[in-house]
Amino acid sequence: MTIHDDPLTRNTTPAPASDWVAHLESETHALRELLEAATQTRAASLTDRQDQIGPLLEKQALLCEKLERARTRRRALLQESGRGRGDFLVAVLSQTPPALHAQATARFSEYVDAAEAAQREIDINKEFFSIALSALDDIIGTVEGREPSYGPRPPTEPRLVSFKA
Amino acid sequence: MVLFDIMYLGQNALFANQTGVRTTSENIANVNTPGFSRREAVFRTAAASSFGGLRLGQGVRVETTRRILDGALNARARRQNSIAEGSTARANVLARADIAFGDLEGGGASAALDDFFESLDILAASPQDQTARTNVLATAGRLTETLNGYGRELRLLREELNAEIRAEVSEVNRLGAEVADLNSRITQSAQPSNDLLDRRDQLIAEIAQRSGLQTIEQDNGLVTVVLEGGHTLVAGNEVQELVVVANGPLVDITAGDGGVERDLTDDIRSGSLGGILRARDEDLAATQTAVDDFVTTFATEFNARHQAGFGLDGLGGRDFFALPSPGASSAEFLRLDPGLSNDTLAAASDPTLINGDNTNALSLAALRTDAVVSGQEPGDALRGLLQDFGDRAFSSEAASQADGFAAQQLTELQQSISGVSIDEEMANLLRFQQSFAASATIIRTADELTQDIIALKR
Amino acid sequence: MRVSTQMQFSLSVRTVNQRQSELLRTQEQIATGRRINSFAEDPVASRKVLREQANLRQVESGRRTSGDAQLLLENAESALIGVADALQRAYELNIQLANDSFDAPQRRSGADEIRQIREQILSLANTERNGRYLFSGLGNTADPFQLDGTFNGDAGRLTVPVSRNTTVDATVAGGEPFLDAAGGRNTLESLAELEDALRANDSVQINAMIDEMLGTLERSTAARQQIGQRLQRLEFVDDVLARTELAANATLAVERDTDISEAVIRLRESESGLQAALAITGRLDDLSLLNFI
């Protein structure tokens, strides 16, 4: 499992203000990994290499967990600074030394781009897996409800006259 | 609803065509198709492809589906199947003959012979009695008719096989032509079509049910089919047809092999054609010869004894039975001598004591216990040839069962490798379903998280 | 081993078919009472069956021909009893009338009685049964004897086959009870001679005939004994035929006939086997993974 390990995002304790740039970098990285995993999961689903799907799902689950923790921190910051979601960059900058403002702004932009890229891939997967599931449900339903037309039909009752009364 | 109908509905087709599910579905749909080998999808990495804005598999796509089979095992199963079909066809023909003259209840010719000898005993006891004489002629007539029936049945059984041989040969030719056609289609297509390969294997197996054969597979995908005895039935996209030619009342099988005409009648010994030919040319022919030999020996010996005696008219030197001219079946065409009557029946040895002398009648009656037919009493010789026939019918039936069992076992082994198991395929589908469902759950979570991030943007 | 869906079904169908054919065969064996019905089912036993059937036919034919022989012999026996009675009377007359105290008219009336005895014996010697003269030998065309003693028959004997490789004489040799083995006068000739002597009142010749007449009586008695022995032999033949019949039927029972109690047990086994096979086939559906989804 190659989840990018990042001490800054490992717990939910709010990080020192100077850490927000590193935090954005880390979360961007996680989003890119999520994009990659989503694509790979779809690819694996198109093959019958089911053994790859398990680890990929696990990886996605871990990435989701990490993003979940990041969201908690994000919400804590917004609450502290008394700002709305749309003012997240402003909140970050307020916690960041002015010398790092330009860098933070660039990281934020990359961060949102990564989220949008991941979102596109997730949208594809949403549609793909819903089609796949409904097709599979149909197939399984058909196979289940099938008359046993395969194989020579076994006699349902003895054709011979029974000696029993 | 047919499985593939669902698969091809709307956008599902996209999915169905592109995944291993298709292979699974194809396997399920063909669970009862004879000759179908289960398929396995083979994937390879490739450039990403997209359909209708939907980006599919990054770098992975189904290259081909592979048939799961064991060629050497298939050849063995096919060979054993030829043998089993041959044994069964032979046993079926002999079972028909068994109905014609293996019947125990009526006793057939053995009982007719007993009747005949009984009438001769009675004649010996009352040579002066006209009804005793009439009785001898009547039982002799029945014996003759029973033997005629044996001869006729054996001949007809062999001749009736002509139609079956023709039907089997034309089927072999038709199947051969189809194999030749598939040969050319298989070599023309860039990628081997599993359906065509399966179909060709199935056709060759069907030919093998009719005649033993060997196949030679070439690198270019062509299969050469060589029948038992060495005739090449299919070479490339050419079929060299078998020809049925009349041989007297029977038919032979010949074929032109590279311009050389050759007779295959004695070569084909397995498959239903081989079984029919064996029954006809070995079993029934041997029985026919044995019956004819018996009739010839018995009638000749009886005639010799009859000639030594004198009838009520005081004349001697006359035959009792009339044997056909050489070449004709003595069983089928045995008759009573046309001149035979109560008066010419030679019971007396002394021409001066014609009305009361039973000495020659005694000599005729004594034939019952004289070992004159191949060192055996006539009755024993007759029962012996019936037993020989019975042995053939019995052992052919036993062989049919044993060979059939062996073929069945090989077929099962083959099925064990190539056959479709609904359960197995279903397990595949369920695995797909579970992982897809898990994916869907994860996706919902990831979706929520990324949307939350995107909302940060103003 | 991987088990494909086709395998499951073909295996169970094969089991059911096998059980059904076993059941059918047992039912047929019980219904017909026959274990085997044709050569193909059991060639060796079939041959034995036909062989024993032939033996039974030979027993049947032996019973018939020995019955014919017995009829001829019994008729000959009773004829010879009549002959002996008549010859006894003739012998007594001869001894009585040899005494010179009898005169010519008395001897003439004796000659008349001898004449009657001659005719009586002639009729017995020419006895016919089933179109056959009992004392003519093999030839059978005309009366073997004439009143004057002329013999038209032959010395043959009718020999009849009665069982396997066994024959019995159904008649004595032609004329044997009446002919003199040494070539002298036969019984009818002797009687004619006695009648003539009595009619001619020839005491010498009448006396001379006494020994000869005793000889005719002894000949007929000897022939009767011979016939008695043949009739005894026929009884023995009947025993042999009965034993042959018993043995043949015993073999047939073993080789051909169904052992009903054993077959009924087999039938029950096949039936329950078939039901088990059918039940398994039915349950195969339940075994499918599909039922556990």
Q: What's the 3-state SS for chain A? A: CCCCCCHHHCCCCCCCHHHHHHHHHHHHHHHHHHHHHHHHHHHHHHCCCHHHHHHHHHHHHHHHHHHHHHHHHHHHHHHHHCCCHHHHHHHHHHCCCHHHHHHHHHHHHHHHHHHHHHHHHHHHHHHHHHHHHHHHHHHHHHHHHCCCCCCCCCCCCCCCCCCCC
**Contact predicate B183/B201, CB 8 Å:** no
- Which helix H or strand E contains B42, and what residues bound it? strand B39-45
Give the nearest partner residue to A53 out of B32, B435, B454, using CB atoms. Answer: B435
User: Is B365 in Cβ contact with C57 (below 8 Å)?
Assistant: no
Residue C116, φ and ψ in degrees, nearest 5: -60, -45
Classified as helix, coil or strand, B336 is strand
Neighbours of chain C (3+ CB pairs under 8 A): A, B
pTM of the model: 0.76
Query: How many interchain CB pairs under 8 A, A with C?
Result: 45
Residue C35, φ and ψ in degrees, nearest 5: -75, -40
Given the cut 0.85, state whether the ipTM is greater than it.
no
Most confident of A111-125, A147-161, B113-127: B113-127
Q: How far apart are CA B356 and CA C171, in angstroms?
A: 12
Chain A neighbors of B442, CB-CB under 8 A: 57, 60-61, 64
Residue B456, φ and ψ in degrees, nearest 5: -70, -25
User: Is C9 in Cβ contact with A150 (below 8 Å)?
Assistant: yes
Work out the pLDDT band at C17, boundaries 50, 70, 90. confident
User: Is A47 in Cβ contact with B426 (below 8 Å)?
Assistant: no
The series of mean pLDDT values per 10 residues for chain B, 458 residues long, is 37 45 75 80 51 40 71 91 95 88 75 94 92 96 94 93 95 96 86 82 94 91 91 92 93 85 91 96 95 96 97 94 93 96 94 90 95 93 92 93 90 85 77 77 87 83
Question: Does residue B191 sit at the C interface (CB-CB below 8 Å)?
Answer: no
Give the nearest partner residue to A163 out of C20, C271, C278, using CB atoms. Answer: C271
Residue-level pLDDT at B16: 42
Listed range (A66-80, B27-41, B178-192, C30-44) with the worst mean pLDDT: B27-41
Q: pLDDT tens, C122-161?
A: 999 999 988 889 999 998 878 999 999 999 999 999 999 9
**Contact predicate C232/C8, CB 8 Å:** no
Work out the pLDDT band at A48, boundaries 50, 70, 90. low
User: Is C13 in Cβ contact with A152 (below 8 Å)?
Assistant: yes
Give the HSE-up count for residue A94: Cα atoms under 13 Å, Cβ half-sphere: 11
Give the nearest partner residue to C267 out of A158, A159, A163, using CB atoms. Answer: A163
User: Is A138 in Cβ contact with B447 (below 8 Å)?
Assistant: no
Q: Which residues 6+ apart lie within 8 Å of B330 measured at CB?
A: B151, B292, B295, B296, B299, B323, B324
User: Is C290 in Cβ contact with B104 (below 8 Å)?
Assistant: no
B 161-190 residues with CB below 8 A of C? Answer: none
Considering only the C-alpha atoms of chain A, give the largest distance between any 2 of them, rounded to a whole number of Å: 103
- Which helix H or strand E contains C63, and what residues bound it? helix C43-98
B 407-426 residues with CB below 8 A of C? Answer: 408, 412-413, 415-424, 426
Residue-level pLDDT at A46: 65
| Residue B69 DSSP one-character state | -
User: Is A160 in Cβ contact with C5 (below 8 Å)?
Assistant: no
Neighbours of chain B (3+ CB pairs under 8 A): A, C
**Contact predicate C267/A163, CB 8 Å:** yes
Find residue C132's DSSP bridge partners: C129
Chain B neighbors of A60, CB-CB under 8 A: 442, 446
Alpha-carbon dihedral C249, C254, C256, C261, rounded to 10 degrees: 120
* Alpha-carbon gap: B426 to the closest alpha carbon of chain A (Å): 8
Chain A neighbors of C16, CB-CB under 8 A: 154-155
User: Is C158 in Cβ contact with B356 (below 8 Å)?
Assistant: yes
Nearest to B288 by CA among B317, B236, B329, B325: B329
Chain A neighbors of C8, CB-CB under 8 A: 151
Most confident of A33-47, A150-164, B331-345: B331-345
Is the pLDDT at C31 greater than 80, yes or no?
Answer: yes
* Alpha-carbon gap: C109 to the closest alpha carbon of chain B (Å): 40
Give the nearest partner residue to B128 out of C3, C131, C160, using CB atoms. Answer: C131
Q: Tell me the residue type at C2.
A: R
Residue-level pLDDT at C67: 94
Q: Across all residues in chain C, what is the average pLDDT? A: 88
Find residue B45's DSSP bridge partners: B60
**Which of C10, C138, C171 would best serve as a mutation to test chain B binding (most B beta carbons within 10 A)?**
C138
**Contact predicate B201/B75, CB 8 Å:** no
Q: How far apart are CA A92 and CA A105, in angstroms?
A: 9
Q: What are the tokens at A29?
A: 């990285």
Calculate mean pLDDT across residues C94-113. Answer: 93
Residue-level pLDDT at A52: 76
Give the nearest partner residue to A154 out of C267, C271, C281, using CB atoms. Answer: C281
